[in-house]
Structure 1
Amino acid sequence: MNKLSILGTVGVPACYGGFETLVENLLDDVTSNEVPDKKITVYCSSKSYKEQPKHYKNANLRYIPLNANGVQSIPYDIISLIHAAIIKRADNILLLGVSGAICLPLIKAFSSTKIVTNIDGLEWRRSKWGSLTKRFLKFSEKIAVKFSDKVIADNQAIADYVTQEYGVSAEVIAYGGDHALTADIPLSDENYALALCRIEPENNVEMILESFSHTNKPLKFIGNWDNSDFGRRMKAKYQNIKNIDIIAPIYDLSALFEIRKSCSFYVHGHSAGGTNPSLVEMMHFNKTVIAFDCNYNRASTENVASYFSNTEELTHHINVSSDINNAQSMLEIAQRRYTWEIVKQQYFSLFN
């Protein structure tokens, strides 16, 4: 494979985020047969790194003096694209997300670079965005699909959407989750349920909390509670309920490992996006999964998890949780589909 530039993330070493974790693992243990030494370039936000080394693992690093998230993500991605395709003339570009995709017609007009775009989880559908932002993201998605040489969807439900909406076939490549296993897993159950997510309404945070408030089952709920009005409101409302433990975000994988390996079951509330990294990570822990009933989660778990659509259904699942056991099925799917070795091979095969 010739020169590959990876764009659209905060950068590496990985910050907390699905795309950053993807890039981190794409760079791990890459053999000379996959990518010759230092022919990968990763674009990073200089705003996020006090130290800015020129190299990391087997990649070159280039820094853009803008934030990679929020409104600055648009010029951040555009500048990265122009630099990689037109100035440095990369042979291949992996674009993660669609924020800067509006410049792809220009890139394709002046460059022969092969562009592969992961369109992420239909970002324009997320409830946190206003109508103007949603329209922009939908337009960017359309441009990305039209002008990319190959489109990646991280979930079969998103691939189906791309085909139905644009008449284009997308490659389905999910995420690995085996990096979450920082040690051997002794099977244990310390009698608590676990939930882990960004604290946003679309992750059905309130539905989960309300359901557990009607049961005696202990819940450990990890998230960024203090980062939004919604999170602070949920924390204030539920933190004094005796069986609910509101926990600040934990980014250390070893600390997360200890909590994950000892839970009774995992509750996954995400209703938007595609294949969620926290779900595929948890599937490696041989634990029962109770997930919100949407096409993304059903695709990720191959319809063999337990599902809920409202507070009443989740409360019922919690109360009968001792009779629910899909743990072995979750582990089998994870080992078959969600390892970084598999994901890495799928990505690099697109460029070879």
Structure 2
Amino acid sequence: MIGHKRIPSREGGVEIVVDEISTRLTERGYHVDAYNRSGYHVSGKEFDEKRGKIYNGIRLITIPTFKSSSLNAIVYALLATIRVLFGQYGIIHYHAEGSCVMLGIPKFFGKHVVATIHGLDWQRAKWGNFASRVLKYGEKQAAKKADAIIVLSRNVQEYFKDQYNRETIFIPNGIDKPCLKENREILKCFGLRKNDYILFLARLVPEKGAHYLIEAYRELKTEKKLVIAGGDSHASEYMERIYQSVKENNNIIMTGFVQGRILEELYSNAYVFVQPSDIEGMAMTLLEAMSYGNCCLVSNIPENIEVVEDKAMSFQKGDVADLKEKLQYLLENESVVRNYKEKSSAFICGKYNWEDVVDRTVQAYFGNAGEGK
């Protein structure tokens, strides 16, 4: 596995997917090596390379790289790729467009290469022109040279067909049904009670849309708090701007990066979960929020609507006025919120599950899955 930051980690959806799939592959008797990237964790702590070499049966191999956010991913992908050339691997699985820049190297040496496109990363606002070009090149390498391409949404599947005339294998992410948690830690740390807050949970990068939600929240008539949970592995101008914009509003709570019990409690006790993204592949936080039985309000991008169908409310992407209107409606209509909550968990856990994901991934590895299926 190449392309994630590091596992075990909840730094992003890619890390969760690599963790879940790799763990289940080892349980089925496969040998899995995960090439972790050295550097800074999204919580701000430097990754501890001594934390262990084996995790859930997965061998962890840490690849050194630069600390610069503009260089670390590409250097990591190159060094990891060089190292796998000397391993006896049946499959080399690249995750995300950035790492696919190096995909042609093992293919040249006759290796069997699979790529998972977690989203069209080159479109993300945080990347400059050069970085976007590099990501686009990675996408082209995958389209031309990968033995199999896995995509997480029908929208991206159609994109690869239209752009490259390349068939792909649609394998969405999975989810497990969680146990709900009482508001013990979040009450102690943030003063949060059940149904007392609106929840946003994502990395603080422009395409996740926290700024839309904060702007809309300021116009709401409500006593409920807004919780912005998330961070980024590198301090950014955008993240600083978000913190500056809320510092005088005591009802907007910035938790930073969360995981473990606090994360579970935030999901378990929210009144509404909001997913205002401009761009997604397949948001793990949305699947998780629904699995906890949340009423969700999502931007109407295809990748979100494909997941929620009619089991959540949506608003026009990037439209703060529409977001504010839909939020106000949910705040004033508890019966509507309750109805969404009653349906969301059973729906999402029935629609997506990790064992099915792994079954189909194994088929993709060994050529038993029809492309485009």
Q: Corresponding residue for 1:77?
A: 77
Instruction: Map residues 220-235 of structure 1 onto 2, 5 A cutoff.
Output: 220-224=227-231, 227-235=235-243
Q: 1:253-309 deviations in whole A, cap 9, x for unaligned?
A: 211111221111111111112111111110101111101121111112125421112
Q: Is the 1:124–1:138 contact (alpha carbons within 8 Å) kept by the matching residues of 2? A: yes
Give the 3 Å change call, closer, same or farther, for CA 79–230 of structure 1 in structure 2: closer
Write the letter of the residue equivalent to 2:245.
Answer: K
Give the 3 Å change call, closer, same or farther, for CA 235–108 of structure 1 in structure 2: closer
How far, CA to CA, are the matches of 1:190 and 1:52 in structure 2?
Answer: 37
Asked if 1:213 is matched to 2:218, the reply is yes
Say which of 128, 131, 135 aligns to 1:130.
128
Give the 3 Å change call, closer, same or farther, for CA 224–57 of structure 1 in structure 2: closer
Q: Corresponding residue for 1:348?
A: 362
Q: Corresponding residue for 2:20?
A: 25
Q: Secondary structure at the match of 1:152?
A: strand
Write the letter of the residue equivalent to 1:161.
Answer: Y
How far, CA to CA, are the matches of 2:213 and 2:108 in structure 1?
Answer: 49
Q: Corresponding residue for 2:371?
A: none
Consecutive unaligned residues of structure 1, counting only runs of 5 or more, are: 1-5
Q: Corresponding residue for 1:201?
A: 206
Q: Is the 1:41–1:62 contact (alpha carbons within 8 Å) kept by the matching residues of 2? A: yes
Give the 3 Å change call, closer, same or farther, for CA 261–91 of structure 1 in structure 2: same
Instruction: Map residues 1-352 of structure 1 onto 2, 5 A cutoff.
Output: 6-28=1-23, 30=25, 34-36=28-30, 39-47=31-39, 48-51=47-50, 53-66=52-65, 70-84=70-84, 86-111=85-110, 113-178=111-176, 181=178, 183-184=179-180, 189-217=194-222, 218=224, 219-224=226-231, 227-242=235-250, 244-309=251-316, 310-321=319-330, 322=333, 323-324=336-337, 325-352=339-366
Question: Post-superposition shift, 1:20?
Answer: 1.8
RCO higher in 1 or 2 (8 Å CA, sep ≥ 6)? Answer: 2
Give me the identity figure in percent: 22
How far, CA to CA, are the matches of 2:51 and 2:229 in structure 1?
Answer: 31
Q: Corresponding residue for 2:43?
A: none
Q: Is the 1:208–1:311 contact (alpha carbons within 8 Å) kept by the matching residues of 2? A: yes
How far, CA to CA, are the matches of 2:140 and 2:26 in structure 1?
Answer: 35
How far, CA to CA, are the matches of 2:340 and 2:208 in structure 1?
Answer: 22
How far, CA to CA, are the matches of 1:50 and 1:63 in structure 2?
Answer: 7
Q: Which moved more, 1:216-225 or 1:71-80?
A: 216-225
TM-score (norm 2): 0.82
How far, CA to CA, are the matches of 2:326 and 2:10 in structure 1?
Answer: 34
Consecutive unaligned residues of structure 2, counting only runs of 5 or more, are: 40-46, 184-192, 367-373
Q: 1:305-341 deviations in whole A, cap 9, x for unaligned?
A: 2111212211211221123543344323321233333
Q: Is the 2:119–2:281 contact (alpha carbons within 8 Å) kept by the matching residues of 1? A: yes
RMSD over aligned CA atoms reads 2.6
Give the 3 Å change call, closer, same or farther, for CA 265–19 of structure 1 in structure 2: same
How far, CA to CA, are the matches of 2:24 and 2:81 in structure 1?
Answer: 26
How far, CA to CA, are the matches of 2:219 and 2:278 in structure 1?
Answer: 22
Q: Is the 2:181–2:268 contact (alpha carbons within 8 Å) kept by the matching residues of 1? A: yes
How far, CA to CA, are the matches of 1:168 and 1:295 in structure 2?
Answer: 20
